[in-house]
Structure 1
Amino acid sequence: MSRTWKVAAAQLGPVHLDTPREETLNRLIELLRSAALQGATLVVFPELAFTTFFARHLFDNPTCLNAFFEHDTNISEASSTKRLFEEAQRLCVDICVGYAEQTPEGRAFNSAIYYSAQLDQVVAKYRKVHIPGTREPHPDLAVINHLEKRYFEPGDLGFEAFRAPRSRQNADGEDDVIMGMLICNDRRWPEAWRCYGLQGVELILCGYNTPAYNPYFWGMSKLMSPEMARSTAVTQHKLVMQANSYMNSCFSIAAGKAGLEDGRYELIAGSCIVGPEGQILAEAVTADDEVVCAEIDLDECRPGKENIFNFAQHRRVEAYQRVVDQVGVTQAGPGNMKG
């Protein structure tokens, strides 16, 4: 049975602080329709897809902040978002979409869900684990803030792979795809990818909102020009998608927001689809609304999983204890010669 699949990353151009929610939702639906016309049956949308990247702003009014969150436990049924899911079901296209989640208990997460059009239900949820930025704004008003730690808790669902049918013909489960979700900064942490790789993942889905210039946030040289910072951020983005796809023998889809928001906040483009050999199969050519499509053959994951990255044969867990025991850096001591 063929395991080819037409997939897409739906890149979203600027969404401003005052952009009406309905306008953004309409744009997401148009991207979905465009992807479907190109034959895609899976579309990945960006992190926090329904709003601007509000975590760059300081909100003193809880009511203003709450407007950026989804409060329904099932966003596929929520009045503010359900039109996207209804259209996905009509088109028979699965979607992965990021959003700001507030639970009934008042907890806040940067989340993503996977909706299966065939099953007409959300089959998996992921909450961003690696929350970057700070809780408090920077005292220098010229600095662009990144206040994700103020607004979101670290995710509590772990890195759990899931299965979903690729089409109506495969809805019996015999050819389900093994997938995992990451959000933005998570893609920079190889431990997250390896957790999925150890579950046999074939496809990683990742939405992001990555600033093009924010030297205080990234730790870049303060002397770096905006042009150099943008180029470096795009290079690093592609690097982690390509390297980790290769090291876990899986495909990956990265969908981002892009362009200049509110006349000041630039986000990188670079939405792309990557193969298990680390090659970029398709990528965005604009910094605006754009669909990036590629046909992938999931069987191409097998050579890497069965050979160079055959974990059962080659992993040496007895040598990796430091990875799970230690958080900060412990400086290396004198040379250690044994044997």
Structure 2
Amino acid sequence: MDDSITIEIVSPDLLRDGAPAHEIVVTLPTFRRPEHLLKTLDSLAAQKTARRFAVIVMENDAAGREGLGAAGPLFSAGTIEGLVLVAHERGNCAAYNAGWQTALARFPAMQHLLVIDDDEWAGADWIDRLVATAEREDADFVGAPQCPVFEAGATESVRRHPVFTAPYTRTGPVPILYSSGNVLIRRRVLEAMGPPFLDTAFNFIGGGDSDFYARCRRRGFRFAWCQEAPVCETTPARRTEFSWLQARSLRNGAISALIERRADASPSGRLKILAKSLGLLALSPWRFLKLAARTRSPMIGLYPIHVAIGRLMAEFGKVNEQYRRPEQN
């Protein structure tokens, strides 16, 4: 195992079984949310499924270890099957990589890897619905909605803002996914792509998942959506403020430009991406007027302007690291 990963706690069933037979492994990264982590784990313990599954919690605060302290007793007692590890390198991509690498190494029977975040909780049929969709559609990835649960006072414009809107609304094949907060990945994908799966250059800006999906699509892997397997996501008041929405929109634009640049880093490719960014910026005032009129929200209307500006900022190396300061995210 990589030196950047330390396995701290293993549930008794895994200690007894040298080759665990779990076909499903749920990976759960955590960073300084011990109380909500327990809520997420409760939702996993309540799954109504005949499929045997294990959980890997990836503690990404090697110094504080609040998540390890909260989750550890559940795994030590065997209440939840699986293990808790510490991913010593900070950043969400590093945490995902640690969990996915461990899942491949420790669970030889695993066929489906699922991901849920420590600010989310799942319904009792979450596992079965994701796996059933993967099998029915013969999909390598299955995404599903992340439904924000806002604190009191959130306006309708905030609730309908594009940063909170799912990319699809119907179950079935889709061209690509964008988020790793609620997703199923087949083992064959991880074996083919190999570690590190997510590029840690995206550790603090986000978008490592989108970059991974783009690379997988170029390799021919298939994507699907399961509308019936949502998770609920706690959305603090900070994320309803205009400054946060603006920063997230700028970041979304920057990430799109960065991923396109990685797909074609040639001089002609860079020129095409710059031309696209300038074109989107030129069109953004008209798109603002159209979207603001349709939604009756100038704040929502600003989204295409912010995305276009974010793309252009990325061309000059200016990308907002929204995850660098977790207390502001």
TM (norm. structure 1) is 0.29
- Which structure is higher in helix share? 2
Higher relative contact order (CA 8 A, sep 6+): 1
- Which structure is higher in strand share? 1
TM (norm. structure 2) is 0.30
